[in-house]
């Protein structure tokens, strides 16, 4: 990459950490019913990198994302977004942090049905009372291909279009990091591929940092790096994955799990 992508903060350098977990543990319940969802996880998500978190059901991949994104509390250890330590923040500050520095993409789109596409996209900024950067907004809208549909309400859009609105909403605020929770889970494969393409482009062309939880090797193949979780621990990592290499790794864990 020779040109600096538009919209990325100049302070961001592709080698810096956008988010980092150190010895992060998450325990649910107490005593006999205690469940350790995350067991001293340490991981770093670098700027302008597209990371996929994979693992079987119950491996803790969603929990890791929720804890890193400030949606859930942490039992032990540390989670940082940029330089900010999440464990020290009260709800109000944490909410502000999510609003200003984090973007979210959910499996079920989670758009407000009363707002049109454009209003949904600018919602986080409207909540903050900030004015959207019009040039950036135009670029985002153009990137996700929604230009003609901005006045439509969610129920007038297809599932794929709705998720593209959600992607645009996450991108519009130029957050330091975007967390995507199974973003293609509710989409057909063509729409899913489209959305994943946008996510990858926003990393490559716009310099965005994205962390995506998925159980789909094809989706994971769009990322730069795959982190594998099992039983609340990071068990492996794969750079420049392909669907086949991811599937291959997963088979290995599966086999290991069965033999051990």
DSSP structure string for 106-165? -TT----TTS-HHHHHHHHHHHHTPPP-HHHHHHHHHHHT-GGGTT--GGGS-HHHHHHH
Rounded Cα distance between 260 and 257, Å, is 6
Shortest Å, Cβ 13 to other proteins: 26
Positions 63 through 122 that interact with other proteins (CB under 8 A): 66, 69, 71-72, 91-92, 95-96, 98-100, 103-104, 106, 108, 110, 112-115
Measured at the alpha carbon of residue 167, what is the angle toward residues 161 and 169, in degrees to the nearest 5? 105
Query: Closer CB to other proteins, residue 181 or residue 226?
Result: 181
Binding string, residues 43-62; x marks residues near other proteins by CB under 8 A = --------------------
Query: Closer CB to other proteins, residue 126 or residue 224?
Result: 126
Q: How many residues belong to the site for other proteins (CB under 8 A)? A: 28
Shortest Å, Cβ 40 to other proteins: 22
Count CA atoms closer than 13 A to 12's CA, side-chain side.
26
Q: Which two tokens stand for residue 208?
A: 């965005």
Q: Binding residues for other proteins, per CB under 8 A? A: 66, 69, 71-72, 91-92, 95-96, 98-100, 103-104, 106, 108, 110, 112-115, 123-124, 126-129, 155, 169
């Amino acid at each position: 990459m020779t040109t600096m992508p538009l919209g990325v903060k100049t302070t961001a350098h592709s080698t810096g950490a956008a988010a980092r977990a150190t010895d992060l543990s998450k325990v649910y319940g107490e005593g006999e019913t205690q469940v350790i969802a995350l067991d001293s996880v340490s991981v770093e998500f670098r700027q302008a990198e597209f990371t996929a978190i994979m693992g079987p059901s119950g491996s803790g991949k969603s929990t890791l994302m929720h804890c890193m994104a400030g949606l859930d509390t942490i039992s032990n250890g540390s989670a940082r977004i940029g330089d900010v330590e999440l464990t020290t923040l009260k709800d109000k500050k944490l909410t502000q942090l999510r609003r200003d520095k984090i973007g979210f993409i959910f499996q079920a789109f989670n758009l407000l049905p009363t707002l049109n596409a454009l209003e949904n996209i600018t919602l986080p900024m409207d909540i903050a009372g900030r004015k959207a950067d019009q040039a950036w907004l135009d670029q985002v809208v153009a990137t996700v291909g929604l230009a003609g549909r901005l006045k439509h309400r969610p129920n007038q859009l297809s599932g794929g279009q709705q998720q593209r609105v959600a992607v645009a909403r996450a991108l519009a605020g130029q957050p330091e990091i975007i967390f995507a929770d199974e973003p293609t889970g509710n989409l057909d494969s063509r729409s899913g591929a489209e959305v994943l393409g946008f996510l990858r482009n926003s990393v490559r062309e716009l310099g965005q940092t994205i962390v995506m939880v998925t159980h789909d090797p094809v989706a994971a193949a769009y990322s730069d790096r795959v982190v594998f979780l099992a039983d609340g621990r990071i068990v492996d990592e794969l750079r420049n994955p392909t669907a086949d290499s991811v599937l291959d790794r997963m088979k290995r864990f599966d086999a290991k799990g069965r033999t051990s």
